[in-house]
Amino acid sequence: MSWLDEVAWNAQGLVPAIAQDAASGQVLTLAWMNRTALEASLQEGRAVYWSRSRNKLWRKGEESGHVQRLLEIRLDCDADCVLLQVEQVGGIACHTGRARCFYRRLEDGAWRETDPVLRDPQAIYGTR
């Protein structure tokens, strides 16, 4: 049995993957991985996800240059979630130009943006 067989993949063959900055402990993003993405991440030493919207592998930073260098992979107690300890190249993990995707906090019944945009997304990606 392979280490990949121990992962409890959902009905779509996916597992949620949390990317955490190894130095700060800050949660950067939540994405999805299929078997190929998880195996490629280990082989390439960088985060590779499954893009549900594009229905294809997505190498984090392939357009932006904001690669997540993979330092460690952990599997949770139920084997249904993976945690990636990463080094976030360029300090930006979010397509909005922020350090992390979790930049909104619930305050007084409303979502408030708490983290600044570090770089204009148009400067990163151009016009899509």
* pLDDT, tens digit (0-9, with 9 covering 90-100), for 95-121: 999 999 999 999 999 999 999 999 988
The CATH H-level (homologous superfamily) assignment of domain 3-116 is: Phosphoribosyl-AMP cyclohydrolase (3.10.20.810)
pLDDT averaged over the chain?
95
Q: What is the pLDDT of residue 127?
A: 64
The helix, strand and coil proportions of the chain, stated in percent and rounded to the nearest 5, come to 15, 40, 45
CB 14 within 8 A of CB 50: yes
Residue type, 12: Q
pTM here is 0.91
User: pLDDT band at 21, cuts 50/70/90?
Assistant: very high
Question: Residues 42-50: what's their mean pLDDT?
Answer: 98
